Amino acid sequence: MVHKTAQRGDTLVEVLMAIVILGMVIVGAITMMARGLSAAQVAVEHTQVRLHINAQAELIRFLRDGYLQDPQSAAGQEWLRMFNANYANTTLSASGGTCAVSAGKTPFYLVQSGSTVTITNFDSALAPATSATPGAGLWMEATRSSSTITPAYVDLQFRACWQGSGSAAQQQTITVVRLYDPAH
C-alpha cells in the first residue's frame, strides 16, 4: 500500500497576514517619503524667505551708505525719510510672534528700480500670504534709538509670514538688524 504524504501549503490566513504586513510596510514607507518631501518644501520656503530678507537688508544698507556719502542723494533722502519719519518711531513693540503688524508701527518694504530704492508702505491685509515676498507677506518695522543714545541707531525688524505649501501650519520668520547712523 502506498501512503500519500500530505503536502502542506500556506493557509489562507497566512497569506492574508503576509499581505497585511506588506501593506503596512508600503504605507509606512510612503508616509515617511511624504513627510520628508514636506520637510524639504518647508526648508526651501525658509531659504527663499531668508534670501528676500537678506536682499531687503542690503537695500537698507545701500540707503544708509548713500546717506553717509551724500545726504542730498536719492538714497540719502530715502534714508532720512525712513529714519526721521513715522517709519522709525522710538516705541518698541511686538505683536507677540503673530503674523500681524506690531501696534503703533508703520510697516514698509523697499522696492528697487534700477539704481533707485524707495520705501513703500506695506498693506497689512497681505499678511499672511501664500508666499513671503517683499510687499506680500514680508515687511519691515523700524525702531529708532532715543535721542540720548549716541551714535543713533535704528533696529529693523524684518517680518515674514506665509502659508507654507509643505506644511499645514502658518510659517513665520523674524530677523532684527541694527544699523548705526553716526550722522544723527
Q: What is the pTM of this model?
A: 0.77
Is a pLDDT exceeding 70 seen at residue 57?
yes
SS3 135: coil
Q: Report residue 30's pLDDT band, with 50, 70 and 90 as the boundaries.
A: very high
What's the helix, strand, coil split of the chain in %, to 5?
A: 40, 25, 35
pLDDT in tens, 152-171: 888 889 999 888 776 667 88
Burial call 106-119: b when 16+ CB within 10 Å, e when fewer: bbbbbeeeeeebbb
Q: Report residue 130's pLDDT band, with 50, 70 and 90 as the boundaries.
A: confident
Burial of 134 (0-12, 13-18, 19+ CB in 10 A): buried
